[in-house]
């Protein structure tokens, strides 16, 4: 029997006013229905926003350490459910089980970390230029946030938004991707069970087309945190900018790995394989360009192709599977379209390139790990985000050339260099235009205690995750407080005694 999941509005699990539902299926086997969720409409969003508004004044005033304690309990519940949720991530999203478990672990890390922030959320105290006066800056919540999340990290990315937003004292309306709604519901269940009061976290399921923009531009919403495509992010940012709403968008990537002539090639191959084909290339941090020094190019691509050939396609729950399915048919067709484009543009197809449908693969959306060589920086496969198991290899003459190619893309999320030369690492660190630079490690695998986000077309507004410049800056505003206890009027800049 199919499980029917619901929206959570004002602490109650409810169906949509539309009476309709959406079906979530396993992308490795579309015969398997993971569950149904409400196909929400504007009226449901209105109710969710009203619930969040109503809960805000009380939640704002609950001491932050108390809010943090609820998050700590959520972390403990997630630890208990890690296996179960990890398997669900694999069944609903398709990534292989170790990655499904990693997805949940990232939420656990974030929950413990943000629980601790409940006892920090620190501002600054600085001296005043006048006697008997003190000055400080404090972080204050912003109000009601709309949180819009993608399907590729169905537990981790929602946790990046839900946990810092609520520990900061905001209330939220959360709209997860309609491709992974069951994972999102299970995460919200955890928060609910951990003791998040009614109305603080509201969950509304539905498609982006039907309710995404409606929610983001809603009069009752003060801020928007969005992760998804650059096209949608730019559009939301334009509209929200005009409505005085806070907005942060985490968007696409075209992340390069530079392999220098002095690199440890074994390490570089292993890293490239993991970053290009892990999560079936469906990460905004996936490596989709390998920029290889001409001296080691031929050897590198031979090693890479030999290693990629061994990756087995299949259901991510099976131990032997190296690469899972694409999320849905549309995404699969988009990726196949790019493979066709690469061929037409004159790149050389070194490996893969086809959909596979033999045996059980017929029930899912599987594409072979695909490597193009002889790629020119101007080709579309070198410039556009593909979001699939397709990597473009480009040749570079030296470090300057490699960095020039890397920075030639319109995106700037993650980047990496493999080299044994300390000076090369320093130059890469200084000159790569990206929010994240990895040295002797691939482009994926950011840790939650540091800010996450990119430059150029990869990110707009504040960054996510922890550390200075991370999500607390997205979900709070600075307020400055001056207190004069001199008992007289003191005039800054004017009184000079
Ligand atoms: C994403 O690619 O959409 O750094 C998020 C990483 C993960 C998060 C990726 N921790 O690859």
Q: In what order do the strands lie in the sheet with 171-175?
A: 12-14, 7-9, 201-203, 171-175, 144-148, 223-227, 246-250, 459-460
**Residue nearest atom 6 of ligand 1, based on CA coordinates:** 445
Structure tokens at 487: 């008992």
Tens-place pLDDT, residues 80-90: 999 999 999 99
Q: What are phi and psi of 327, to 5 degrees?
A: -65, -35
Q: What are phi and psi of 483, to 5 degrees?
A: -125, 120
Residue 250 a catalytic site member: yes
Q: Which of 474, 6, 29 is nearest to 246 (CA)?
A: 474
Quote the pLDDT of residue 497: 62
Residue 124 a catalytic site member: no
Q: How many A from CA of 443 to the centre of ligand 1? A: 9
Indicate if the pLDDT at residue 138 is higher than 90.
yes
Q: What are phi and psi of 60, to 5 degrees?
A: -55, -40
Closest ligand 1 atom to residue 102 Cα is: 10
- The pLDDT of 380-406, averaged and rounded, is 98
Tens-place pLDDT, residues 24-73: 999 999 999 999 999 999 999 999 999 999 999 999 999 999 999 999 99
| Coil, helix or strand at residue 388 | coil
Q: Name 68's Cβ contacts closer than 8 Å, sequence gap at least 6.
A: 114, 115, 116, 117, 118, 119, 167
- Give the C-alpha separation, 424 to 48, whole Å: 52
Quote the pLDDT of residue 275: 98
- The pLDDT of 100-105, averaged and rounded, is 98
Identify which has the larger pLDDT, 394 or 495.
394
The full DSSP string for 159-181 is HHHHHHHHHTT-EEEEE--TTSH
Quote the pLDDT of residue 241: 85
- Give the C-alpha separation, 188 to 202, whole Å: 8
Alpha helices in 349-412 (DSSP H): 380-383, 399-407
Mean pLDDT of the chain: 97
Does the Cβ of 247 fall within 6 Å of ligand 1? no
- Our mutation pick for probing the ligand 1 site, out of 110, 254, 446, 458, counting the most ligand atoms within 8 A of Cβ, is 446
- Give the C-alpha separation, 177 to 154, whole Å: 8
Taking the mean position of all CA atoms in its chain, how far away is CA 71?
A: 20
Quote the pLDDT of residue 484: 97
Closest ligand 1 atom to residue 436 Cα is: 4
Does the Cβ of 446 fall within 6 Å of ligand 1? yes
Indicate if the pLDDT at residue 496 is higher than 80.
no
Quote the pLDDT of residue 392: 98
Quote the pLDDT of residue 429: 98
Exactly one of 210, 284, 368, 385 is catalytic; which is it? 284
For residues 319, 324, 328 and 330, what is the CA-based torsion angle, rounded to 10 degrees? -160
| Coil, helix or strand at residue 30 | strand
Tens-place pLDDT, residues 2-21: 899 999 999 999 999 999 99
Indicate if the pLDDT at residue 270 is higher than 90.
yes
Does the Cβ of 444 fall within 6 Å of ligand 1? yes
- The pLDDT of 168-179, averaged and rounded, is 98
Does the Cβ of 160 fall within 6 Å of ligand 1? no
Domain boundaries 7-251+458-481, CATH class = alpha beta
- The pLDDT of 415-438, averaged and rounded, is 98
Structure tokens at 56: 């805000």
- Among left, alpha and beta (phi > 0; psi -120 to 50; other), residue 359 is left
Indicate if the pLDDT at residue 242 is higher than 90.
no
| Coil, helix or strand at residue 275 | helix
DSSP 212: I
Lowest mean pLDDT among 213-227, 228-242, 336-350: 228-242
Indicate if the pLDDT at residue 387 is higher than 80.
yes
| Coil, helix or strand at residue 261 | coil
Closest ligand 1 atom to residue 448 Cα is: 10
Exactly one of 92, 106, 117, 250 is catalytic; which is it? 250
| Coil, helix or strand at residue 349 | strand
Percentage of the chain lying above the pLDDT 90 cut: 98
Does the Cβ of 445 fall within 6 Å of ligand 1? yes
Structure tokens at 168: 């900061």
| Coil, helix or strand at residue 199 | coil
- The pLDDT of 88-114, averaged and rounded, is 98
Indicate if the pLDDT at residue 280 is higher than 80.
yes
Tens-place pLDDT, residues 397-423: 999 999 999 999 999 999 999 999 999
Quote the pLDDT of residue 2: 84
Q: How long is the chain?
A: 497
Does the Cβ of 283 fall within 6 Å of ligand 1? yes
The full DSSP string for 112-165 is HHHHHHTT----EEEE-SSTTEEEEEEEEE-SEEEEE--SSSTTHHHHHHHHHH
- Give the C-alpha separation, 255 to 89, whole Å: 24
CATH no., domain 255-439: 3.40.309.10
- Our mutation pick for probing the ligand 1 site, out of 285, 442, 465, counting the most ligand atoms within 8 A of Cβ, is 285
Does the Cβ of 285 fall within 6 Å of ligand 1? yes
Indicate if the pLDDT at residue 1 is higher than 90.
no
Domain segments of the chain: what residues?
A: 7-251+458-481, 255-439
Alpha-carbon distances of 440 from 47, 126, 316, 402, 425, rounded to whole Å: 49, 41, 27, 16, 9
Closest ligand 1 atom to residue 152 Cα is: 3
Q: How many A from CA of 444 to the centre of ligand 1? A: 6
Max distance between CA atoms of the chain, in angstroms, equals 87
Cross-strand partners of 9: 12
- The pLDDT of 481-487, averaged and rounded, is 97
């Amino acid at each position: 029997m199919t499980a029917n999941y619901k929206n959570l509005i004002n602490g109650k699990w409810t169906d949509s006013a539309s009476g309709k539902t959406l079906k979530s299926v396993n992308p490795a086997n579309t015969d398997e229905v993971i569950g149904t969720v409400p196909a929400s409409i504007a009226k449901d969003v209105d109710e969710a926003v009203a619930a969040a508004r109503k809960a805000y004044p009380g939640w704002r005033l609950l001491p932050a350490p108390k809010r943090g304690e609820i998050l700590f309990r959520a972390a403990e519940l997630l630890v208990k459910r890690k296996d179960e949720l990890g398997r669900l991530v694999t069944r609903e999203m398709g990534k292989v089980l170790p990655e499904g478990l990693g997805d949940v672990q990232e939420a656990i890390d974030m929950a413990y970390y943000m629980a601790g922030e409940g006892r920090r959320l620190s501002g600054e105290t600085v001296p005043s230029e006048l006697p008997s006066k003190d000055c400080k800056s404090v972080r204050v919540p912003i109000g009601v946030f709309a949180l819009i999340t993608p399907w590729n990290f169905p537990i981790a990315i929602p946790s990046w938004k839900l946990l810092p937003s609520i520990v900061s004292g905001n209330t939220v309306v959360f709209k997860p991707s309609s491709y992974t709604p069951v994972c999102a519901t299970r995460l919200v269940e955890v928060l609910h069970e951990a003791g998040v009061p009614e109305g603080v976290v509201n969950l509304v399921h539905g498609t982006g087309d039907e309710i995404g923009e409606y929610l983001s531009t809603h009069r009752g919403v003060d801020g928007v945190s969005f992760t998804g495509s650059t096209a949608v992010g730019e559009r939301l940012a334009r509209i929200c900018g005009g409505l005085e709403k806070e907005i942060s968008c985490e968007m696409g990537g075209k992340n390069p790995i530079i392999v220098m002539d002095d690199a440890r090639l074994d390490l570089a191959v292993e890293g490239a394989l993991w970053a290009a084909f892990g999560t079936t290339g469906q990460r905004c941090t996936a490596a989709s360009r390998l920029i290889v020094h001409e001296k080691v190019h031929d050897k590198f691509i031979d090693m890479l192709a030999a290693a990629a050939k061994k990756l087995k396609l299949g259901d991510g729950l099976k131990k032997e599977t190296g690469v899972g399915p694409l999320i849905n048919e549309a995404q699969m067709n988009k990726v196949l379209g790019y493979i066709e484009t690469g061929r037409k543009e004159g790149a050389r197809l070194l490996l893969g390139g086809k959909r596979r449908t033999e045996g059980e693969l017929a029930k899912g959306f599987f594409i072979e790990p695909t490597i193009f060589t002889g790629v020119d920086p101007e080709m579309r496969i070198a410039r556009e985000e593909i979001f699939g198991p397709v990597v473009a290899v480009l040749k570079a003459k030296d470090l300057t050339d490699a960095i020039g190619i890397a920075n030639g893309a319109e995106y700037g999320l993650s980047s990496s260099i493999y080299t044994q030369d300390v000076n090369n690492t320093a130059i890469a660190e200084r000159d790569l235009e990206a929010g994240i630079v990895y040295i002797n490690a691939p482009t994926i695998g950011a840790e939650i205690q540091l800010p996450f986000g990119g430059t150029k077309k990869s990110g707009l507004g504040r960054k996510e995750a922890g550390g200075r410049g991370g999500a607390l800056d997205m979900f709070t505003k600075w307020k400055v407080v001056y207190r004069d206890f001199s008992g007289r009027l003191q005039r800054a800049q004017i009184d000079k005694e």
